[in-house]
Amino acid sequence: MSLKSHGVILEVGDGATPSEVFAAIADIGDLDEATVNREVETITSHSSQGVEVVPVGVPDYGEISFQVPHSAAPALRGLVEIGAKKNWKIKTPGASGTLETMSFAGYVTSYGVPYTVNGVQMANVTIRISGKPTFA
């Protein structure tokens, strides 16, 4: 059964310890979740019996990208400028009607606003994941 993606919530942590508080980013549009990749390096040699030998590298959890109204998210632009790593959560509708959560640390690495002739000023934002996400 296919699940609807309407209702996705993106939250950012305030960095407080011991109990961090997360706040939702208002009015996010489309959100592209990261794709996990592993780099491969070919080490095929003349003694590899005619087959390619490719060990895999460490997992790379990639980037999250989304759109948000430019007027609603001035703090996100600031995160690019200061280079602060933040804790994030993406909550998605699950099969049982509950929210499934992906938690991760990451840096806002890109914030740009295309000024379209016929449209709302929506910022394009990218978060680079640092470390391994957890899923609950």
DSSP letters for 20-47: --EEEPTT---EE----EEEE-----TT
Looking at residue 99, its pLDDT comes to 86
Looking at residue 1, its pLDDT comes to 57
Q: Which domains does the chain have, with CATH numbers?
A: 9-135 (4.10.410.40)
CA pair distance 68, 27, nearest whole angstrom: 6
Q: What is the value of pTM for the model shown? A: 0.86
pLDDT in tens, 57-114: 899 999 999 999 988 777 899 999 999 999 999 999 887 778 899 999 999 999 999 8
